[in-house]
Amino acid sequence: APRDSTSCATGGTCKLATGLKDLNIPALSYLRAEPRKTERPMGAKFRNFRREDLTLYWDNGTPEGTYSGIIQALAGTSTLTYEGHSFIFKKKSGEVVTRLTMRKGKAIYVIPPDDSTVKETAFYKKTMDEMKFLEQYYAENGTPWLAYYPRDKPILPIWEASYLGQQHRLESDIGHLSCDPFGSSSSSSSSSSSSSSSSSSSS
């Protein structure tokens, strides 16, 4: 909670916490400190900025590799993989364009454009913005960003919070419902004694 939550709740002056560090809460992570295997799983996004389709192969140690699909011109694809694994991108002729190795903390891998005008496209600029955001997020949190970028605004009702750690307490004169009390004449509900719930939200 903030350093003076009572004062904040009553509209007084208080120093608000602006992040988890201010609340002395350690960064949260879904990743194990030590992976079960030496190769940690990860998600990877590929962006092809060349004006030609490329064939994607996972490097399994053989000369031909394992076919993994087509990445279209000026488009992207994604895959689940492991740190240290590599992917090879080839032209239809079989010529190798590039080889990309998965690295810890890096989520987007780019096949550079062969035409300088591609750098002026919205797709290229958006990817550069996303890369910058993902790198900054990982540097600050030590955990990869998993949601879409940019993330859409919430579409479900949400109680806004004035400060980190604020709680909203809601009360209702309707108890547990066993059926719809408004849509059926035979509906019934349990005791109408007041029930309350609390939820916390953070800005």
SS (H, E, C) 29-51: CCCCCCCCCCCCEEEEEEEECCC
Computed over every residue of the chain, the mean pLDDT equals: 79
Q: How confident is the model at residue 26 (pLDDT cuts 50, 70, 90)?
A: low
Residue 56 has pLDDT above 90, yes or no: yes
pLDDT at 171: 86
Q: Are strands 41-48 and 108-111 parallel, antiparallel or unpaired?
A: parallel
* Among 19, 82, 71, CA closest to 46: 71
Q: What is the pLDDT of residues 150-163, one digit of tens each?
A: 888 888 888 888 88
pLDDT of residue 20: 59
pLDDT at 77: 95
Spatial contact of 194 and 172, defined as CB atoms under 8 Å apart: yes
Residues 59/87, Cβ–Cβ less than 8 Å? yes
Residue pLDDT, tens place only, 59-80: 999 988 999 999 999 999 999 9
Q: Higher confidence at residue 107 or residue 28? A: 107
| Residues belonging to the chain | 203
The share of the chain scoring above pLDDT 90, in percent, equals 45
Handedness of CA 137, 156, 160, 172 (dihedral sign): negative
How much is the average pLDDT of 110-126? 95
118-133 average pLDDT score: 96
| Residues 6+ away with beta carbon under 8 Å from 166 | 5, 8, 9, 200, 201, 202
pLDDT of residue 153: 82
My answer on whether omega of the bond before 150 falls inside 30° of 0, hence cis, is yes
Using only C-alpha atoms, the chain has a radius of gyration, in whole angstroms, of: 25
Give the residue-averaged pLDDT of 113-130.
95
> Is residue 109 within 8 Å of 99, Cβ to Cβ?
no
* Cα–Cα distances in angstroms (integers) from residue 15 to residues 10, 113, 155, 201, in the given order: 13, 49, 31, 18
The pLDDT, as a whole number, for residue 190 is 41
Is residue 46 predicted with pLDDT exceeding 80? yes
Its pTM stands at 0.62
**Who has greater pLDDT, 8 or 181?**
181
For 184, what's the count of Cα atoms within 13 Å in the CB-facing half-sphere? 8
